[in-house]
């Protein structure tokens, strides 16, 4: 046992921690975990915690699909190894600590289905090109009374108004305190547009930290909600016919600590490399969103006119655009420009989502792409002929279309690797088969409490 791990065990025991929850996200964006007592931490760090290999082919409803031959039997074992340097004592759950984990093969070697390793490879690829990526999430969620049989929003007051946050004053106070104690920086928190909907923006970090904090923020929100007799839903849609919950993914790219999305002579201050990064995202967008908004509920959420990225185009500060450029300005200060991906939600594995975004953007830089002209309007209000003339198409709107876009894009499929890409396909097809037997209302209800 290393000195650092020994010290961590002693510190956690002194703080009254009785369990360390080690978490990872599966191919549905669902958090899975194992919990060990502090005295079990050294063993977990050294040799991991046993996990069944079919965890990579669980669908959204916990059915194990055997559509991927690589994990077609119940035999075998993989190991979940906690990232010991990222252990956080959970504010709001005083007896527990939390850590992200990585999945390794039984002999400790890399396991091709481990999402953290997928992201690490893309971060390394960016670094090899002299580029640094920063990422941050806007997290939308909706609150209902914990004992409600159906979804009953905590407040229907004016969108963005203080009455909406006043209705959950105790929850909001605890949440902001807990997030701060758990090391998650917050830009702002407010009541959003939908019924009982709120949004939390967390500060930009390196991609691995951003993905870790996405999982930790979710845990923190759930715990604070439970304490105040509430229940939080991050589902892409909580009710049909209403706005959905996005987990909008913001990224920026820099070289030598200079943000390439601002300070250039290109449109809206883009440098050549910044424009190429955006163009790479746009080029691969149909395959990217197969990973960043992969569920059947994601497809129900992504509708024209709902600011959810139904069409494949970009625009500066255009909230209907799938890719919204947030330009820099002297008022905001240097380094603030970023690109927001709208088709992104809680059903995405955050490590895989960030990995494909980085890969698409870096490929654009490598290929020196130039983006098409930006759009400042809502193409959903145009005629088919007007959209065709502008080269704007509806993004994939069925599971089959999304999987075809992913399989047909060698750049994005290669990010996942052959084994993981096929497991991901099998899971999506299993979800589609489940949804085919149900109405949209039943599909939405079946995803309401998964994330």
pLDDT digits (tens, 9 = 90+) for 168-215: 999 999 999 999 999 999 999 999 999 999 999 999 999 999 999 999
The pLDDT assigned to 109 comes to 98
pLDDT digits (tens, 9 = 90+) for 384-395: 999 999 999 999
List Cβ neighbours of 30 (8 Å cut-off, separation of 6 or more).
58, 60, 450, 451
The pLDDT assigned to 49 comes to 98
Segment 14-24 shows an average pLDDT of: 97
Enumerate long-range contacts of 6-15, CB under 8 Å, 24 or more apart: 6/42, 8/41, 8/84, 8/87, 9/38, 9/39, 9/41, 9/42, 12/38, 12/41, 12/87, 12/89, 12/97, 13/38, 13/39, 15/89
CATH tag, 121-447: 3.30.590.10
Instruction: Enumerate the domain spans of the chain.
Output: 3-109, 121-447
Q: Are strands 31-36 and 19-25 parallel, antiparallel or unpaired?
A: antiparallel
Question: Cβ distance 309 to 395 under 8 Å?
Answer: yes
Q: Which three-class secondary structure string do you get for 200-240?
A: EEECCECHHHHHHHHHHHHHHHHHHHHHCCEEEECCCCCCC
Burial class (CB in 10 A: 0-12, 13-18, 19+), 121: middle
List Cβ neighbours of 438 (8 Å cut-off, separation of 6 or more).
446
Query: How far is residue 17 from each of residues 1, 32, 93, 184, measured CA to CA in Å?
Result: 19, 20, 9, 20
Strand, coil or helix: 102: strand
Mean pLDDT of the chain: 96
CB atoms within 10 A of CB 6: 12
Report the Cα 288 to chain-centroid distance in Å.
Answer: 12
The pTM for the full model equals 0.96
Q: How far apart are CA 412 and CA 406, in angstroms?
A: 7
User: How sure is the predictor about 2, in pLDDT bands with cuts at 50, 70 and 90?
Assistant: low
Furthest CA-CA distance within the chain: 68
Q: With respect to CATH, is domain 3-109 assigned 3.10.350.10? A: no
């Amino acid at each position: 046992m290393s000195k650092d791990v020994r010290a961590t065990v002693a510190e956690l025991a002194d703080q009254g921690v009785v369990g360390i929850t080690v978490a990872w996200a599966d191919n549905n964006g669902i958090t899975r975990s194992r919990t060990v007592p502090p005295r079990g931490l050294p063993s977990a760090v050294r040799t991991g915690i046993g996990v069944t290999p079919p965890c990579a082919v669980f669908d959204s409803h916990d059915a194990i699909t055997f559509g991927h031959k690589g994990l077609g039997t119940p035999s075998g074992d993989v190991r979940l190894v906690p990232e010991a340097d990222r252990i956080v004592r959970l504010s709001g759950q005083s007896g527990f600590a939390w850590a992200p984990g990585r999945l390794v093969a039984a002999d400790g070697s890399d396991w091709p289905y481990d999402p953290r390793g997928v992201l690490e490879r893309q971060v390394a690829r960016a670094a090899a090109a002299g580029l640094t990526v920063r990422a941050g999430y806007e997290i939308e969620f909706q609150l209902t009374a914990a004992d409600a049989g159906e979804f009953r929003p905590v407040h229907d007051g004016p969108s963005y108004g203080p009455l909406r946050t006043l209705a959950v004053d105790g929850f909001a106070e605890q949440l902001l305190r807990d997030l701060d104690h758990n090391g998650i920086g917050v830009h702002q928190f407010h009541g959003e547009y939908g019924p009982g909907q709120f949004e939390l923006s967390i500060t930009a970090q390196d991609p691995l930290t951003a993905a870790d904090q996405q999982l930790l923020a979710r845990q923190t929100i759930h715990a604070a909600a439970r304490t105040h007799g509430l229940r939080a839903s991050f589902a892409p849609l909580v009710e049909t016919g209403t706005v959905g919950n996005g987990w909008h993914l913001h990224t920026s790219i820099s070289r030598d600590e200079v943000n390439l999305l601002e300070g250039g002579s290109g449109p809206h201050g883009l440098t050549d490399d910044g424009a190429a990064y955006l163009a790479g995202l746009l080029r691969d967008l149909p395959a990217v969103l197969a990973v960043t908004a992969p569920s059947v509920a994601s497809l129900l959420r992504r509708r024209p006119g709902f600011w959810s990225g139904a069409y494949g185009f970009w625009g500066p500060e255009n909230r209907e655009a799938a890719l919204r450029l947030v330009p820099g300005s002297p008022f905001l200060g240097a380094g603030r420009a970023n690109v927001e991906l709208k088709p992104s939600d809680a059903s995405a594995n955050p490590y895989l989502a960030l990995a494909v975004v980085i890969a698409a953007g870096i490929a654009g830089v490598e290929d020196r792409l130039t983006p098409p002209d930006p759009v400042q309007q809502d193409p959903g209000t145009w005629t088919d002929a007007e959209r065709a003339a502008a080269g704007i198409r509806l993004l994939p709107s069925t599971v089959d279309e999304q999987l075809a876009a992913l399989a047909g894009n060698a750049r994005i499929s290669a990010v996942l690797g052959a084994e993981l890409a096929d497991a991901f396909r099998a899971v999506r097809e299993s979800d589609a088969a489940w949804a085919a037997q149900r109405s949209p209302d039943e599909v939405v209800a079946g995803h309401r409490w998964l994330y």
